[in-house]
Structure 1
């Protein structure tokens, strides 16, 4: 079992051997297939006509160390069948850093989630089993993904028979300290939301946070909720969010308290699973592998009438994630 300590050495070696090439001279660009704050992903073919996805990041907004870390972590983990593979091609051009990865023909998980409905429970369980396997592998290597969400889960088919976890741009070694974050997302654990800067703040009032697998466990729990229902359970994990606070109150006394309004569709068995994945105390969260114990049980019983829906698309488009690295 690796501890992630050799990532730094791999980054140094990659920096020394990073080839210099212009994209148009070495790749045939077919079309753009993805774009984000990081840069863009291009569908290309190489000289040998092999189709691949080329992730390119502008040098103006990308630090060399950040690029090297993402590439080296992705390369180390790409042998797992539920993680996007890499070709071992990393380079820089005059304006970009880039690397080539496996082309997954299909859509991401976000694209198949029906708003306010989700996707069928059978497909959810197939997806959950594969993502759990990928996360186990990541954590065994002393690493934390830190960006588990439907947009980063690629599908070969809409029934989730074969899925792959992607995007290691925020991944870090376990134990790395985070000083602050700018902005929050619904997938972020409460201890991470506590690191968010308030308006006018230049430093967080909280002590630095150690990056641990429990951050992925929390995001994994929120992911399961989202794909089962088609909406978020809350917008952010702070006391100012009534839906999060309602869940937090239930967690303090799950046997006696009323089941939160957003969670009434779930069976008692699945609520037990959620209570372990989404334990407020990070040290008490279960490992992602423990969801396997619940796969043969029903997770959803009936969809309750009414209930508040958080616009998934709005949150996706309106929230930005900027992390101190």
Structure 2
């Protein structure tokens, strides 16, 4: 893959944003769509299920308040989603962006069922066949994003929508944090379990050029959640005792200090996670290396007994 890939992606998106801004439709939602129910609400906006009044098509409508959203940020998220929407494991877009009196908005494929977080059982995770099916599709989506020169940066179960039973078809959504490879991140607003340690290092005051390895780290955390029903730690900082135990394991190979949740995992699963979540980003496995582990068991045979 070309090292210029990220720059090419940035240039393409900038051109798309200019064209989209010139053709941005002005309308009120109620003119063309009937609001059915709210699907989700976040820090930056909310998603509503709507029905097209003439065609009767169900759609998901993302609305971002103008008072707290720069037009450039709205255009960026819309254009990224549009570029990626052709993949079967990425949410489909309708190519409709508009502004109303109070909001910017765009429409995409509605997931009438639920997201991945809704099926992860605390203390258990999800069934191993479903976890592997989900993993395979997620890796395919991330590889596609990386091929476009972009880093997704938001791998978490809330952003993985489920179509069909038992993860038969999953789709990534929400591309507000997606950036071209090489973009320098100067700060991280809040450290969460999915945050790679290089981003939580306060010594990196000049910023970190992002790479695909950030998605590999977050994928490793997600797989741990799917297999155990727990986060491996709360924050990727040495003051977190669970993360400190993980650091010891990565540096010495000694597993005795790890929490009992890790003991549910097979040797192969542990190897997979240790490579995805290498402390050194340059040594981290690319996401597609996970596919090599799909034929091995991920949980030990008596894993449920460890919860008792």
- When normalised by structure 2's length, the TM-score is 0.93
| CA distance in 1 between partners of 2:190 and 2:161 (Å) | 25
Q: 2: CA distance between counterparts of 1:130 and 1:104?
A: 16
The match for 1:248 is 247
Secondary structure in 1 matching 2:14: helix
User: Normalized per residue, which structure has more helix?
Assistant: 2
- More displaced 10-residue stretch of structure 1: 186-195 or 218-227: 186-195
2:242 matched to 1:235? no
Q: Does 1:7 align with 2:16?
A: no
Alignment map for 1:269-280 (pairs within 5 Å):
269-280=268-279
In the alignment, structure 2 segments of 5+ residues that lack a partner are none
| Matches for 1:261-300 after TM superposition, within 5 Å | 261=259, 262-300=261-299
Normalising by structure 1, what TM-score? 0.88
Match of 2:256 in 1: 258
- Which of 60, 73, 82 does residue 53 from structure 1 map onto? 60
Give, in angstroms, the shift of residue 259 of structure 1: 6.2
Hey, what's the Cα distance between the residues in 1 that align with 2:204 and 2:128?
41
2:67 counterpart SS class: coil
- Kindly tell me the number of residue pairs found equivalent between the two proteins: 298
Q: CA RMSD in A?
A: 1.6
CA distance in 2, matches of 1:209, 1:188: 13
The 3-state SS of whatever aligns with 1:110 is: helix
1: distance between equivalents of 2:196 and 2:295? 27
* Structure 2 Cα separation of the partners of residues 54 and 119 of structure 1: 29
Per-residue Cα deviation, 1:91-128 (whole angstroms, up to 9, x for no partner): 01110000000112211000011111111111000000
Deviations 1:232-279 (A, max 9, x none): 00001111001001011101122x553622311111111110111000
Superposition map of 1:217-228 within 5 A: 217-228=216-227
Q: What pairs up with 1:1-325 in 2 under 5 angstroms?
A: 3-4=8-9, 5-46=11-52, 47-195=54-202, 206-254=205-253, 256-258=254-256, 260-261=258-259, 262-301=261-300, 302-303=302-303, 305=306
Cα drift, residue 60 of structure 1: 1.1
